[in-house]
């Protein structure tokens, strides 16, 4: 008796796309990626032209803020700083950041033609990602965010969340993330990490009790 093997359609709950589909997506990413980086460069040049002509730096600020997370935003900032008198300023008290025009004599002048022949992604090298956080460091990071969000919710901080979030929802998300991680941490941590996690857990419980 011959048993026909069933075609594999899912693994770990994910549908398996065909090789042709994934390959097509990769080609699309390559094409659209090149188009996007060319558009970013052209827009950055026009933002520099606008800033030099009118002294208005808001377009460059908007461009940096509009870049997707996968883009080399910090590389663009270095490029702008080195080819213009624009400086990125962070105002922690007001919770704002953006470009200002530095009029100091020692600052760079606009060098738009030079910037145009040196795209920002070629101007600096991309750094390799840092080592992943340890479990204890990850828990500590979550706890710091819980503390930060609670201060925002109580009006004790001038920082703000993303427009699509509210403090209660954000707290619920980080609480759930941490609670989901704890069983994994309990079975995969070494003794040193366990001690750090226990200390952080006490801090977290204290925060919850305080919030209640």
Q: What is the pLDDT of residues 71-121, one digit of tens each?
A: 899 999 999 999 999 999 988 888 889 999 988 767 788 999 999 999 999
**For residues 126-146, average pLDDT:** 70
Identify the residue with better confidence: 75 or 8.
Answer: 75
Q: Are residues 114 and 69 in the same domain?
A: yes
Q: Compute the distance between CA of residue 130 and CA of residue 188 in angstroms, rounded to an integer.
A: 22
Whether residue 197 lies inside any domain: the answer is yes
Q: Quick one: 108 and 139 in the same domain?
A: no
Q: Which of 103, 123, 143 is the last residue of a domain?
A: 123
Instruction: Please indicate whether residue 160 or residue 197 has the higher confidence score (pLDDT).
Output: 160
Looking at the structure, tell me whether residues 22 and 108 fall in a common domain: yes
In a domain, 9, yes or no: no
Per-residue pLDDT band at 128 (split at 50, 70, 90):
confident
Give the total number of structural domains in the chain.
Answer: 2
Same-domain pairing of 103 and 139: no
Lowest mean pLDDT among 45-49, 72-76, 85-89, 143-147: 143-147
At residue 152, what are phi and psi to the nearest 5 degrees? Answer: -65, -45
Same domain, 100 and 160: no
Average pLDDT over residues 61-71: 91
Averaged pLDDT for residues 197-206: 41
Region 8-18: mean pLDDT is 85
In this structure, the dihedral spanned by the alpha carbons of residues 41, 99, 61 and 166, taken in order and rounded to 10 degrees, is 140
Q: Which residue, of 101, 123, 145, is where some domain finishes? A: 123
Same domain, yes or no: 140 and 104: no
Measured in whole angstroms, how far is the alpha carbon of residue 153 from the centre of its chain? 23
Measure the CA–CA gap between 139 and 205, rounded to whole angstroms: 13
User: Which residue range is the domain that position 162 belongs to?
Assistant: 135-211
Q: Is residue 153 part of a domain?
A: yes
């Amino acid at each position: 008796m011959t048993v026909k093997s069933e075609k594999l359609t899912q693994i770990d709950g994910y549908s398996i796309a065909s090789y042709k589909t994934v390959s097509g997506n990769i080609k699309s990413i390559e094409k659209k990626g090149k188009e996007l980086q060319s558009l970013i460069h052209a827009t950055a040049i026009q933002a520099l032209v606008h800033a030099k002509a009118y002294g208005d730096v808001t377009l460059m600020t908007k461009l940096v803020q509009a870049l997707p997370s996968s883009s080399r935003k910090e590389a663009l900032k270095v490029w702008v700083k080195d080819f213009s008198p624009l400086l990125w300023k962070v105002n922690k008290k007001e919770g704002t950041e953006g470009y200002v025009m530095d009029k100091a004599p020692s600052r760079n002048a606009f060098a738009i033609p030079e910037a145009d022949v040196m795209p920002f992604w070629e101007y600096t090298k991309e750094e390799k990602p840092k080592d992943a956080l340890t479990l204890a460091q990850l828990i500590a990071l979550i706890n710091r965010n819980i503390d930060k969000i609670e201060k925002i919710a109580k009006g004790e901080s001038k920082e703000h969340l993303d427009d699509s979030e509210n403090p209660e929802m954000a707290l619920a998300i980080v609480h759930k993330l941490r609670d989901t991680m704890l069983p994994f941490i309990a079975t995969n941590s070494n003794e040193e990490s366990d001690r750090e996690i226990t200390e952080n857990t006490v801090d977290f419980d204290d925060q919850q009790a305080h919030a209640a």
